[in-house]
Chains A and B, each alone.
Chain A
Amino acid sequence: MTEEELAKDLGLVSAMTIGIGTMIGAGIFVLPGVAANAAGPIVVVSFVVGGIIAMVNALSVSELGTAMPKAGGGYYYINKALGPMFGSIAGMGDWMGLAFASAFYCIGFGQYLAVFVGLPEIAFLNPIQLGALIAGVLFVAINYIGAKETGGIQTVIVFVLLSILTAFAVAGFFSFDYATLSGADGLTPFGTGAILPATALVFVSFLGYAKIATVAEELKNPGRNLPIAILGSVGLVTVIYAILVTTMLGIVPWPELSQDAPVAQAASIAFPSSLGPIGGVAAAAAAVMTIGALLATASSANASILASARINFAMGRDRIVTDWLNEIHPNYATPYRSILVTGALIVVFIAFLGREIEVLAKAASVLHLIVYALMNLALIVFREADVPEYDPDFTVPLYPITPILGALLSLGLVAFMDAIEIALSGGFVVAAVVWYFLYARSETPNQGVLSNYIRSREAELPDQVVDAADTVAPTGDEGPTVMVALSNPRTESALITLAGAVAEAEGGRVLATHIVTVPDQTALSRAAENRQRIEASSEDLLSAATADAEAFDVPIDTKTILSHRGIEEVFDAARTNDADTVVMGYGGAQFAAGRVEGALDELTHDLPCDFLVLDGADLDVTDVLVPTAGGYSSDLSADVARALQTTVGADVSLLHAVDAGEETQGREFLTGWADDHGLPDAEILVEAGGIGDVLGRIGDDYSLVIVGATDRGLLSRIVSGSLVIDAVETLETPVLLAERPSARSIRERLFG
């Protein structure tokens, strides 16, 4: 098994229990009394409508989740698609939504706990709030320590709950009385207009399915299991809600249904008081239901706290929140600060809003609904921008109707909330936007697909749209990072000059690395002795690099990397330092050839970024020759030539080799190519003959030849010593080989 597979250990059942376990606590055990009191028996329809809205959104979550099985769920998709401003809103919305929902579940826990044991009233806290606070602190503590046992219990809890509820449904079926259900005032005592406001209230019962997406990266076979778990859990709980709420209302008339502990009340009536000789059955059933309710609300709260840490982590990775928040506890290996901050929010919500369970429920729903609406937009953006990396295993039916409907239903339901919840949630959205402009905008390096799409079509779109995209675009990207892999003092100056020119042209920075290859045979103790000597030589090399880089207007960082892996380490360092371009010497690449076999071929077919390999110790950029036959492979050569032209005033000549007699078309092509690649004033050369011969003939008249790699993989050919362009080998003039990774490997970097 690969490490990738080892990291994925959640099966379908586990994934479904996360969804069901989170949802069922609220819908069955907490809300039926309150909701029935607001809408009458028709509240069953409210639950079903909520289920339908959840299902439409669940389809979109499934598509996004299978395209990007990453920690963070909704936040991650929105940030990728709509950019970090909406990402901030989504992250904040998801996070606060979970905190509100957790506070709500804790209050539900407190309600049943207060039925079980007498709790005192302390200061401004009523007994329910006190119970909720105890629960909240307990759940936070459990997640802080990361007691692994709680996880295992979740699955057990869900199965126990489903059994308890089945028993209740069976008992209820025999006590069910349609006259009780229809009541004195009919099914709609407040009219059908009460259906949607009640849906707004009970929607919190459906907030569990998206949590499955937040742990998507841990799922086995997410392409199959994620949609089944998400859609399956929504479908299942909707059916359970419809049946059980109908049952409850057929046992207890809706005006009398308990607002605090409805299931315990209904059970005490539904079950016979004695079964033959065994007495106290009804009381026992009520007690079992109470325990069930405690387990259900506990598992909901626990899952929500866990999910909020995932969202914080995803936000931290995009630098929308500081890394401080996601620090891992040295002993418990948990993201303890994130858990504590979420815990503090939960405690505050319980203490100040705990008497208003409806406000907690609806605030959680409003925030989640905003996120769902954005998620649907994100889906449309991914599809319309035609991002090649976006390749979901599951696709929503009836696109674009489904995501549009999902967004409209989500926002539509918000309209049925009360002013206070909308104001609270609106406050958090505003806070997120303020946070984005004050902090995150200058930190986060990522642009959304949407803003790339708009910026890339600057000419076709109205100016206002482009301006708006620029206004909110992140500034944290300090431009590209050009990493120089130095190994030899002789080539240092040439490589740094090249890197400096590229970095300056693109407003980026230079990272000079000295990768010291320690042969495997060197004993560790020897290596340790040598360390000082290595450090000294490394310092010399890197300070020379810093001095050379001063010629350019770019920031430079330096780094020494000790490794026994040679060129593999270059790839690794490029990845870990998020390099956009790597500049290295031909000798360094060749040297590696002797050592690494097999794995290298695969490695070089999956370049982490652009690679520039210089064959030659000196760099003279007065006359630069760029041979091109068009196509993808020479785009990077053009970029480099342009960088040298603008920063060090190189004279650029473009060369196109054609068959004899086709010079006119060749000239036409090359002129167009020059214009397209921002080199309109380059000298145009069209020569008849094979490219190798032409290069051999005229190449030495220039001071540098930039050769773009073909699709066959330039680096692997250098390293394996099979570079076929003989002319390059025989030229006296230094040659710069440029290879840009294929779209496939960019895709892997993005969506992996």
Chain B
Amino acid sequence: MTNDAVDTDRGLLGHVLLPVAHEEDARKTATALEPYGPDRVTVLHVVEKGEGVPDKTPVAQSEEVAEASYAAVREVFPDADDHTAYARDVVGAIFEAGAEVGATAIAYRPRDGNRLVQFLSGDRSLRLVTEADRPVIALPDSDPDG
């Protein structure tokens, strides 16, 4: 079911889509978002698929990571919905999920990594902010050492 109609009158934080990579990332991202008091949160984990080739990680293992991430977000937002997507193109899957759940904004925590690493794994931050079809919020790092 696709719900393209974004309920903008609830404001930017009316329904925040929270893409997270793993448990630790989920915890930090949720903690970083908490002070802004979003009305509704949907946490998203994209299971990276090979789409035609074997995945780099067994699907069942990726799904375990997804479950752990959802649990970590619910420590902060007990009512958070969850959404699992399967795609080779992670950023594309985030946009699709945003449309599907009718998110008012996508909030994420930019992760570090040097230029080479970002290049090799695809600079997702850049694509996320340049190609998005709805507002994208880059959350400040709540724990600069972590």
Residues on A lying within 8 angstroms of B by beta carbon are 3, 6-7, 9-11, 14, 18, 70-71, 143, 145-148, 151-152, 154-155, 215, 217-218, 303, 306, 309-310, 313-314, 317, 326, 328, 330-335, 518, 520, 522-525, 527-528, 531, 562-564, 576
Contact = CB atoms under 8 A, between A and B. Distances in A.
A3 B86 contact: yes
Given A9-B49, A10-B54, A527 B61 contact: no
Contacts of A9: 49-52, 86
Binding site of B, secondary structure by majority: helix, strand, loop or mixed? loop
Nearest to A211: B54
- The 8 A-B pairs of least Cβ separation, nearest first, read A151-B53, A562-B78, A146-B56, A6-B86, A71-B58, A215-B54, A7-B59, A151-B50
B2 interface: no
A306 B78 contact: no
Contacts of A331: 21, 111, 113, 117, 121
Nearest to A7: B59
Nearest to B34: A528
A557 B41 CA distance: 30
Contacts, number: 131
Contacts of B84: 3
B59 A71 contact: yes
26 contacts: A6-B85, A6-B86, A7-B47, A7-B86, A10-B52, A70-B60, A71-B58, A145-B120, A148-B48, A148-B56, A151-B54, A155-B53, A218-B54, A218-B59, A313-B60, A317-B60, A330-B24, A332-B56, A333-B48, A335-B58, A518-B78, A524-B38, A524-B39, A524-B79, A527-B79, A576-B67
B13 to A, nearest CB: 10
Interface residues on B, range: 35 or more
Contacts of A332: 56, 121
B68 to A, nearest CB: 10
Interface of B: 21-22, 24-25, 34, 37-41, 47-63, 65, 67, 74, 76-80, 84-86, 88, 111, 113, 117, 120-121
Given A146-B48, A330-B22, 6 more contacts: A7-B47, A146-B121, A218-B54, A328-B62, A527-B77, A531-B78
Given A218-B54, A524-B40, A564 B79 contact: yes
Contact of B57 (A334, A520, A564): A334
B62 A333 contact: yes
Binding site of A, secondary structure by majority: helix, strand, loop or mixed? helix
A317 B61 CA distance: 9
A334 B76 CA distance: 27
A523 B15 CA distance: 12
Nearest to A145: B120
Given A7-B47, A148-B50, A576-B67, A217 B58 contact: yes
Contact of A335 (B34, B57, B77): B57
A217 B63 CA distance: 13
B49 A524 contact: no
